[in-house]
Amino acid sequence: MIDLLEEIWATVRRNKLRTALTGFAVAWGIFMLIFLLGAGNGLINATESNSGRFLDNSMSVGGGTTSKEYKGLKEGRPIQLQDKDINSTRQKFAANVDSIDAQISHSGVTITYGENYLSTEIDGVSPMHARINKIEMLHGRFINDVDNSQQRKVIVLNEDQAKELNEHDPAALVGQYVKMDSLAFRVVGITQSDQTGMNASAYLPFSTLRIIYQMGDKVDNINFSFHGLQTEADNEAFEKRYKATLNANHDAAPDDEDAVWIWNRFTQAMQMNMGMGIIRKALWIIGLFTLMSGIVGVSNIMLITVKERTREFGIRKAIGATPASILRLIIIESIIITTFFGYIGMLCGIAANEYMDATIGHEQVDAGLFKATMFLNPTVGFDVCIEALVVMVVAGTLAGLIPARKAARIRPIEALNNAE
C-alpha cells in the first residue's frame, strides 16, 4: 500500500497543473454548496428569530387615520382606541378571541433609585402582554390581575434598566422601591432584554398608569390571542369584520382600511414560512448545480488523465501488471485527490460562514416597530458537509472508474500504438 501511495504521489508531482485543476473543481463545488446553504440558513434563522418574538396566533390593533369621508366627517381624523373597543373585541368576537391585553404608553418618565436615574417610556399592560410578546422573566414576576384590579403602584423593569439603577446587583432591586415622578413604585420583577427595542419600556399595571396620568378610557393598542382561524381566507374575513366593528365605534366608514390597523402575526408567519420554503429549495437547487459543475469538471479531467496515460498503462501490462492493479491505481488516486481537495473546500466553506457570522451576523436594522437581526447563525449541519464530500468523492471515483476500466482492458500493443 505504501508503494502504491508513493507511486500516486510521484504521479501528482509530475502533473501538478492537472492535479490542481481537478482539486479546484472539487473544492469549489463543495465550497459553494456549503457557503450558499450557510448564507441562506443565516437569513432564514434571522427571519424566524425576529418573528418568533411574538405569539403566532395573536393580533395587535391600533388606531390610525381615516381615509374616507363618512357621516359628514372629513377624512384625516385620527382614531384613538377606547374601552368600548375592548368591550367590542371581548363580546362580539368571543368565538375566536381568547385573551386580551390592553396597552397604553407614556414617555419622558424619569425613574430614580438612590443616586442613579434613567429616562424611559412606561407601558401600562395586563398579564397577557408577557405571553403575547414572549417576555422572559429573569427575576420576580410580571404584572398580574390583582395589580390591575387594585391599581397597585408596582413596576417591572428590564435588565438594562435594572443595571443602570443598580449596577452591582440588579436582582436586588426586586422588592425595593424606585421613585417615578415623585411617586414610589415597588419593583416586582426584572425582564430579559432582547436588544430589539420591543421590550425596552418599563411596565406598570394598565389601570394604574391611566389613573396616574388621567388618561380616561384611552387605549393605545389592543393585543389578543385567538383560535379557529386556520387559513389566510379565515383571517382576512375576521379582520374585515373586526375593522368594520371598530370603525363603527368611531364613526368611520366600514370599509375604511386606514382607520384601524391590524398586525396579524399568524398570517405573517404563514407567508414567512412559505417564503422560507422557497428560499430553501432555491438554495439547494443552486448548490446542487454548483456541485454538479464540480463533478463534470472532475469527470472531464479524469477522462483526459486516463487518455494521457494510455502508453504508461500499456507498458505496465507489458511488464506484468494486471488489469485489476491498473484499475486500483486509478481509483485510489481519484479517491485521494477528491477527498483531499473536497475536505479543503469544506473547511473553506465553514470558515466563510464563520466569518459572515462574526461580521454581519450581529448587525441589526430598524424595522419600524422593532430592531431586526438580518443574519443569524449562518451554519450548515456537519452531516450536510460530510454528505457533500461523500457525493463528490463517489462522483470522482465513478468519473475515474469508467475510463479506468477501458484502460485496464486494452491490450499492451494497442495501448502503445494508440499512444503513438
- Torsion (CA) 35, 40, 41, 46 in degrees, nearest 10: 130
Predicted confidence (pLDDT) per residue in 172-188, tens digit: 999 999 999 889 999 99
Q: What is the mean pLDDT of the chain?
A: 83
Q: What pLDDT is stored for residue 369 in this prediction?
A: 47
All three cell numbers of 276:
422560507
Contact 272, 14 (CB under 8 A): no
Higher pLDDT, 342 or 235: 235
The reply to whether the predicted model has a pTM over 0.85 is no
Q: In this predicted structure, what is the pLDDT of residue 287?
A: 73
> Is pLDDT at 3 greater than 90 in this prediction?
no
Parallel/antiparallel/unpaired status of strands 97-113 and 183-191: unpaired
Asked if pLDDT for residue 368 goes beyond 50, the answer is: no
Which residue, chain included where needed, has cell 414572549?
134
- pLDDT score recorded for residue 53: 67
Q: Kindly report, residue by residue over 33-61, the tens digit of the pLDDT.
A: 888 888 888 877 777 666 656 788 899 99
**Is the separation of the CB atoms in 281 and 382 below 8 Å?**
no
Give me the pLDDT at residue 176, please: 95
